[in-house]
Amino acid sequence: MEIIIRNSSSQPIYEQIYTQIKDLILNGALAEGDALPSIRGLAKDLRISVITTKRAYDELEREGFVNTVAGKGCFIAGANRELIHEENLKKIEAHMQAIRQLAKGCGITNEDLIEMFRILEVEE
Amino acid sequence: MKGLLIKDICSMMKQTKYFFVLAVVMAFMQNDFLFSYIIVYAASLPITALAYDERAKWGRMEETLPLTRAQIIGSKYMMGYITVAVSLAIVFCGRLYGAMAYARPIRMENMFSIVITACIALAVQAVNLPLMFWIGVERGRLLLILIIVSAAFAIVSLWEDLEIHQASLHFPLVLAAAAGITAVLNILSFQISKRMYHCE
Amino acid sequence: MNAIEMKHVTKSYPAFTLSDVSLSLPSGCILGLVGENGAGKSTAIRLLLNGIARDSGEITILGRDNRSKEFVQTKEEIGIVLDEAYYPEVLSAGTVGKMMQHTYKSWQQDTFVKFLDRFSLSDKKQFKEYSRGMKMKLSIAVALSHQPRLLILDEATSGLDPIVRDEILEIFNDFTRQEDHSVLISSHITSDLEKISDYIAFLHQGRLLFCEEKDRLMEEYGILQTTVKSLSEVPPDAIIARREGKYATELLVKRALLSEAFDVERAGIEDIMLFLVKKEEV
């Protein structure tokens, strides 16, 4: 498991941890049932605040990505893949909305957009 | 308290060595003045220890240790009792050595004067310690010398008195009185010291 | 539970007053106490240990009033490092160990020996030959060798070189891996405290300007560089303090009250301190 904390980043530290663990779950590096390091252990290893780490874990739990078992620690929750999938769909939808609005404003048609998207794909 | 005593004894290694060298020299010389001197010297060691503490600002350290005021104060009194007891033992051994090697008889008055000297030494300690806890050894140096000098005068004139009245004195009674007064002085002194120490 | 709790503590001297200080250190956390020299950090720490008596207020340490008779037993569980180690100069680390063994009931000689080894302190060398770094290390070794639950460190890292400082900070950081271990560390080196603290308390001229969670401080405050012209665009509520320069004005701002359009930079503890002190002076 790799987590990189950037003190210079404008993103709050708890958010950095939250996002990175979420991404690790998303790309399969962390699977259902995997144990997360203890809050205190992670905080001390990363040399960051215990409170901040706890906040990140709380956030992950609230979003249903991890379960806390009292006395045992934090584990990756089961239903999270679906959850993430849904969340990503929502995100894509939101981005598409934005694209549509921008396109409308300067008269770009749906066909033009699809063409642009294809070109992007080819370039990759 | 044991910890503090260890600290004091170790930090005064120089004085302790001097103490023993003196004891050995004394045993050979069989000088009465040296016998009294070693007891008075022994009783002054707690003040020296206090001066060392002061110089190192040890008081700041003591605040952090799990020790009560009574233990901190008590360690200095205890040190005085121990050093005086050791010096008494040395003096007695010296006398005994004198009796055997030089055929010097051990007379009752000699023993008596040794114990009285120890009582006076401890009484002086009882006067000194609260003062030193209160104003500090550095600032109280002059006062300290004054007390010791006047105590020395008191001892000398006391001896003269004793010479005169020797025949009529009841030794055990005088001894008991001296020991009693010294004990009461020390108890009072300890209570006062506890109040004096670090009044901020 | 709070490892340390100070409520409205006041102590007056002829030339200096520590007034109405309230702060708490939750168990398991590290609280950094910052402030300029003479701000009252050492006074606060002596008050905590009841080395000096407070005029008013309440102080509870590890759940016990520090004026109570039983506080002596609580001291068994507190490891303390003062701004300087005040050992008699002829003592060696060996004698210090012997002495502490007869002072602390829970003294662990093998732990002490391990620390001496780790810090490369010989147990024979006399204290007067120690460098400042060595003195600090000896104090730290003593503080950690009697199974403390709370460490109170007064300027424990000042005057040490960066490498030693980092080594020592790491020890304190490791100490709090255990959930019931807490640390109060005072320093005027803010970068050290920024590295390891969970909470930051800021003393200035005997008054507590704030005691807050460190990361919240970082999130809450930011620095914004503006020109005189664009200063009017910044919402006045968001400006906490300002520093006028010749070419630009620097603002300490509340991030939450500014839109994303403003390019707010991260504010370090030192920036926040300097701005707040400036503001006090105005």
Tell me the residue range of the domain where A57 lies: 13-78
Spell out which residues of chain C touch residue B65, defining contact as CB-CB under 8 Å.
75, 103-104
Q: Would you call A13 an interface residue with chain C, using a CB distance cutoff of 8 Å?
A: yes
Examine the fold and report which residue of C190, C213, C236 is the final residue of a domain before the chain moves on. Answer: C213
Cα–Cα nearest to C52, from C103, C18, C15, C8: C18
Q: What is the mean pLDDT of residues B3-7?
A: 91
Spell out which residues of chain C touch residue B11, defining contact as CB-CB under 8 Å.
88, 90-91
Report DSSP state, residue C237. Answer: G
The pLDDT-based confidence of C282 (bands split at 50, 70, 90) is low
Cα C143–Cα B14–Cα B53 angle in degrees, nearest 5: 40
Q: Would you call C198 an interface residue with chain A, using a CB distance cutoff of 8 Å?
A: yes
E strands along chain C, which residues? 2-12, 17-26, 30-34, 56-61, 64-65, 78-81, 150-154, 182-187, 199-204, 207-213, 221-226, 239-244, 249-254, 265-266
Q: Please tell me whether the interface predicted TM-score (ipTM) of this complex is above 0.95.
A: no
Does this model's pTM top 0.90? My answer is no
Give A73-86 pLDDT, tens digit per residue.
Answer: 888 887 656 777 78
Examine the fold and report which residue of C191, C213, C235 is the final residue of a domain before the chain moves on. Answer: C213
Q: Would you call A70 an interface residue with chain C, using a CB distance cutoff of 8 Å?
A: no
Structural domain total, chain C:
2
Examine the fold and report which residue of C153, C185, C213 is the final residue of a domain before the chain moves on. Answer: C213
The pLDDT-based confidence of B102 (bands split at 50, 70, 90) is confident
Half-sphere exposure of B128 (CA within 13 A, CB side): 31
In chain C, the residue whose alpha carbon lies closest to the alpha carbon of A51 is: C198
For residues A7 and C69, which has the higher predicted lDDT (pLDDT)? C69
Distance CA C196, CA C191 (A): 9
pLDDT at C246: 83
Spell out which residues of chain A touch residue C218, defining contact as CB-CB under 8 Å.
12-13
Considering the domain architecture, whether residues C58 and C112 belong to the same structural domain is answered as yes
Distance CA C272, CA C266 (A): 10
The answer to whether the Cβ–Cβ distance between C72 and B68 falls below 8 Å is yes
Give C186-205 pLDDT, tens digit per residue.
Answer: 988 888 898 899 999 999 99
Q: What is the mean pLDDT of residues B166-183?
A: 82
Token pair for C16: 């200096």
Token pair for C196: 């390891």
pLDDT at A79: 64
Spell out which residues of chain C touch residue B57, defining contact as CB-CB under 8 Å.
84, 86
Q: pLDDT at residue B16 above 60?
A: yes
Residue A49 lies in a domain: yes
User: Where would I find the H helices in C121-245?
Assistant: 132-144, 162-175, 190-196, 214-220
Distance CA C271, CA C265 (A): 11
Q: Would you call A14 an interface residue with chain C, using a CB distance cutoff of 8 Å?
A: yes
Q: Would you call C51 an interface residue with chain B, using a CB distance cutoff of 8 Å?
A: yes
Tell me the residue range of the domain where C261 lies: 217-281
Residue A5 lies in a domain: no
Considering the domain architecture, whether residues C205 and C232 belong to the same structural domain is answered as no
Number of A to C CB contacts under 8 A, please give it.
39
Q: Would you call C13 an interface residue with chain B, using a CB distance cutoff of 8 Å?
A: no
Considering the domain architecture, whether residues C246 and C130 belong to the same structural domain is answered as no
Q: pLDDT at residue B199 above 60?
A: no
pLDDT at A110: 87
pLDDT at C195: 86
Distance CA C206, CA C40 (A): 5
Q: pLDDT at residue B167 above 80?
A: no
Q: Would you call B170 an interface residue with chain C, using a CB distance cutoff of 8 Å?
A: no
Considering the domain architecture, whether residues A90 and A63 belong to the same structural domain is answered as no
Considering the domain architecture, whether residues C100 and C191 belong to the same structural domain is answered as yes
Structural domain total, chain A:
2
Residue A30 lies in a domain: yes
Cα B153–Cα B187–Cα B157 angle in degrees, nearest 5: 15
The pLDDT-based confidence of C100 (bands split at 50, 70, 90) is very high
Q: Which chains touch B (3 or more CB pairs under 8 A)?
A: C
